[in-house]
Amino acid sequence: MGYILSSDGFAKFMEMLSGCEGSLDLLEGQIGDALAHVKDELHLGKAAMIMEVHPNAFQLRGRSISHDFYTSEKGYATEAIKESYITGNKGVFNMFFHPEIGYVWNEDEKKAVRTLSNAIYISMRRVRLKELVERAMLTDSMTMVSNAMGMKRFVTQIMEKNNHSAYNCAFMNIKNFRYYNQKVGSTQGDELLKVYATKINDFLLPDENITRMGGDNFIVYVKKERVGAFFERMKKINVQLWVDNHPISLDVETRIGMHDIAPGDTMDDVLNCAAIALAYARQQNARNVVWFEKKMRDLDLQAQTVSVAFPKALANGELIVYYQPKVCLEDNSLCGCEALVRWVREGVIVPPMDFIPALEREGTVCDLDMYVFETVCKDIRRWLDCGMNPVRVSVNFSKLHFKDDRFADHILDIIHRHGVPSNYIEIELTEASGFESFDNFERFSRIMRENKIEVSIDDFGTGYSSLNILKRLNVDVIKLDKSFIDTIENEDTQDEVFIKNIVNMINELGMRVVAEGVETNNQVEFLKKIHCSAVQGYFYDRPMPRERYEERLLEKRIY
Ligand code: C2E
Ligand code: MG
Ligand code: MG
């Protein structure tokens, strides 16, 4: 048989096989070409393969592949040499070689055929391994959808086909994922991500793409004409998990920032726009899908300017605390006040609504709140030390603090550090919206009240408040929003009946009512009549700098 192995044809055959660096598809063609160099001397009639791939991470349903490398025009004998190889993961790779019709291989020739078979098998394993490594580099190892590199590859491909603007891009974040993760544990949290990604992937077409960008953030490229169906699919993704040997079923909702891709958009443009839209979707809790609009970018830039300037302003003492008195309606006495922050920026006093939303978006509002709180504690300590007999001060806190499990500890640390008795402190919170923060809200307010610190719900009537929730909120004070109080002037008796009943109900639930934004005597008289405890508003006092407020403390205790 030596004559075959040493032939030029065999050397060429080996050279062609080992030179192939392309994909498996390319290699299949190349094997056919390589066999052309030995087919005559071996009297080869046909060479073919069948490969069975068992289900694996990349091919969830497994695959069966068959391919004919070469078929002679002269025809081939039915009997064949079959060589079987067991591949990784118990796959099977079978090769079939037939001599030309009418030809019978001798033992030497059979050996030579087996050598060809081994060489083909080795080269196919090598290329397949290379493909798997490349696949792994483009795939998120937890969910098996694309990773950032995979998305880049996908976008490059659709751009090369001039097809980029046939798609819309969705930047997505799972609603309440933090909450689920805490509830079910991180292993089942991972399972949630896997099932979620797989279900979306199953909805997508082969020329669409889903990418996991880390955490619970995903990006989807979906064809424009399928956006409606996509939103419908995304409304709820049902995920079944096992927790403590019990099945639980979750209807997972998603926040989506959408960008309508225009011709000429780069991948970075698209991702930026979709991310900005997602930030808006996050802010407006009520809407899950937000489409990017140009004006959002301007607001975003403005917010970035604020966020960049903020840390320095905080360090430079540009943020100062104003105080607005609260007046008890029973005896017209000064019974409390609210701390309200101001930013003195280049000599101009900037109101909180011009910078707090931006800080909320960046998360830095938490630093601001703690700074205001420290300032308030220092002031109270000083007032006590010089015998000023201060009243309770309420301080506003963003609901972002609920992301920090140690929020309550921080508050207690600060008042202890400054030696402030807790009956001088009230914490104002806007209502917990969504159940993610509800548990934390309840826990926080319980700890505060155990420590004799009062808790109030700010801006009641503007958000999702329902009297039903009120019952469960364990708080001391409800602050009725100005928008309620404004209706008192309308001379519409229905509005007044409405307010009267709300105040009644809150009182009956054992909480006090403070009315905000009271500007007229009429409003004061009405609120007195319906047993509202206290009011805060321009009618009595505007928010004022510390020095002026100290004068109030010293002189005017009765209005
Ligand atoms: P808020 O906590 O509801 O505070 C009451 C707002 O109503 C204050 O606006 C106050 O100046 C205004 N106000 C009070 N009485 C009247 C009135 O009779 N008429 C009118 N038209 N307005 C009245 P301000 O100081 O501009 O604060 C706006 C919001 O900014 C606050 O609403 C609060 O949500 C937020 N804020 C202020 N300081 C802080 C802070 O330190 N941290 C956080 N997270 N938020 C703060
Ligand atoms: Mg407030
Ligand atoms: Mg308010």
pLDDT tens column, 319-346: 999 999 999 999 999 999 999 999 998 8
**Strand, coil or helix: 476:** coil
The CA-based angle 124-125-130, given to 5 degrees, is 100
Q: Which residues are CB-neighbours of 27 under 8 A, at least 6 positions away?
A: 20, 123, 124, 127
Ligand nearest to the CA of 543: 1
Q: Are 531 and 507 in contact (CB under 8 A)?
A: yes
Helix, strand, coil shares of the chain, percent, nearest 5, are 50, 25, 25
Q: Compute the distance from residue 462 Cα to the ligand 2 centre, in Å.
A: 13
Q: Compute the distance from residue 481 Cα to the ligand 2 centre, in Å.
A: 9
Predicted structure pTM score: 0.61
Most informative mutation of 323, 354, 396, 428 for ligand 1 (most atoms within 8 A of CB):
396
Question: Is the pLDDT assigned to residue 436 strictly greater than 60?
Answer: no
As a whole number, mean pLDDT of residues 287-309 equals 85
List the one residue out of 70, 245, 212 whose CA is nearest residue 145.
Answer: 212
Q: Compute the distance from residue 283 Cα to the ligand 2 centre, in Å.
A: 19
Ligand 1: residue whose CA is nearest its atom 7: 517
Query: In this predicted structure, what is the pLDDT of residue 459?
Result: 86
454 vs 431: which has the higher pLDDT: 454
pLDDT category of residue 287 using cuts at 50, 70 and 90: confident
Most confident of 53-57, 200-204, 436-440: 200-204
Question: Is the pLDDT assigned to residue 13 strictly greater than 80?
Answer: yes
Domain boundaries, the chain: 2-137, 148-292, 310-554
Query: How far is it, in rounded angstroms, from Cα 29 to Cα 6?
Result: 24
Query: How far is it, in rounded angstroms, from Cα 497 to Cα 505?
Result: 12
Q: Are 456 and 429 in contact (CB under 8 A)?
A: yes
As a whole number, mean pLDDT of residues 64-82 equals 92
With a 6 Å cutoff on the Cβ, whether 396 touches ligand 1 is yes
With a 6 Å cutoff on the Cβ, whether 325 touches ligand 1 is no
User: Hey, what are 396's tokens?
Assistant: 């506003």
pLDDT category of residue 1 using cuts at 50, 70 and 90: very low
With a 6 Å cutoff on the Cβ, whether 543 touches ligand 1 is yes
Q: Compute the distance from residue 319 Cα to the ligand 3 centre, in Å.
A: 20
CA distances to 174, 179, 408, 433, 446 from 402, rounded to whole Å, are 18, 11, 9, 12, 14
Query: In this predicted structure, what is the pLDDT of residue 58?
Result: 65
Query: In this predicted structure, what is the pLDDT of residue 270?
Result: 96
Q: Compute the distance from residue 297 Cα to the ligand 3 centre, in Å.
A: 28
Ligand 1: residue whose CA is nearest its atom 35: 352
83-94 exposure pattern, b = at least 16 Cβ within 10 A, e = fewer: bebebeeebebb
As a whole number, mean pLDDT of residues 540-551 equals 96
Most informative mutation of 322, 338, 340 for ligand 1 (most atoms within 8 A of CB):
340
Query: How far is it, in rounded angstroms, from Cα 146 to Cα 219?
Result: 9
Q: Compute the distance from residue 512 Cα to the ligand 3 centre, in Å.
A: 15
Q: Compute the distance from residue 216 Cα to the ligand 1 centre, in Å.
A: 34
pLDDT category of residue 65 using cuts at 50, 70 and 90: confident
Mean pLDDT is lowest, of 39-43, 358-362, 501-505, 530-534, for 358-362
List the one residue out of 80, 119, 73 whose CA is nearest residue 99.
Answer: 80
With a 6 Å cutoff on the Cβ, whether 351 touches ligand 1 is yes
Query: In this predicted structure, what is the pLDDT of residue 183?
Result: 82
Ligand 1: residue whose CA is nearest its atom 19: 517
224-233 pLDDT, tens digit per residue, is 999 999 999 9
Query: In this predicted structure, what is the pLDDT of residue 6?
Result: 64
Ligand 1: residue whose CA is nearest its atom 25: 340
Question: Is the pLDDT assigned to residue 498 strictly greater than 70?
Answer: yes
Ligand 1: residue whose CA is nearest its atom 16: 517
Q: Which atom of ligand 1 is nearest the CA belonging to 360? A: 44
30-52 pLDDT, tens digit per residue, is 899 999 999 998 999 999 999 88
Q: Which atom of ligand 1 is nearest the CA belonging to 341? A: 38
Question: Is the pLDDT assigned to residue 234 strictly greater than 50?
Answer: yes
As a whole number, mean pLDDT of residues 257-271 equals 95
The superfamily CATH assigns to domain 310-554 is EAL domain (3.20.20.450)
Q: Which CATH number fits domain 148-292: 3.30.300.30, 3.40.190.10, 3.30.70.270, 2.40.50.40?
A: 3.30.70.270
Query: In this predicted structure, what is the pLDDT of residue 49?
Result: 93
**2-137 in CATH: which number?**
3.30.450.40
Query: How far is it, in rounded angstroms, from Cα 407 to Cα 39?
Result: 78
Q: Are 4 and 42 in contact (CB under 8 A)?
A: yes
Query: How far is it, in rounded angstroms, from Cα 258 to Cα 289?
Result: 7
Ligand nearest to the CA of 326: 1
Q: Compute the distance from residue 538 Cα to the ligand 1 centre, in Å.
A: 12
As a whole number, mean pLDDT of residues 293-302 equals 83
Ligand 1: residue whose CA is nearest its atom 17: 517
28-47 exposure pattern, b = at least 16 Cβ within 10 A, e = fewer: bebbbebbebbbeebbbbbb
Ligand nearest to the CA of 427: 2
With a 6 Å cutoff on the Cβ, whether 459 touches ligand 1 is yes
386-432 pLDDT, tens digit per residue, is 999 999 999 999 988 988 889 999 999 999 999 999 999 999 998 65
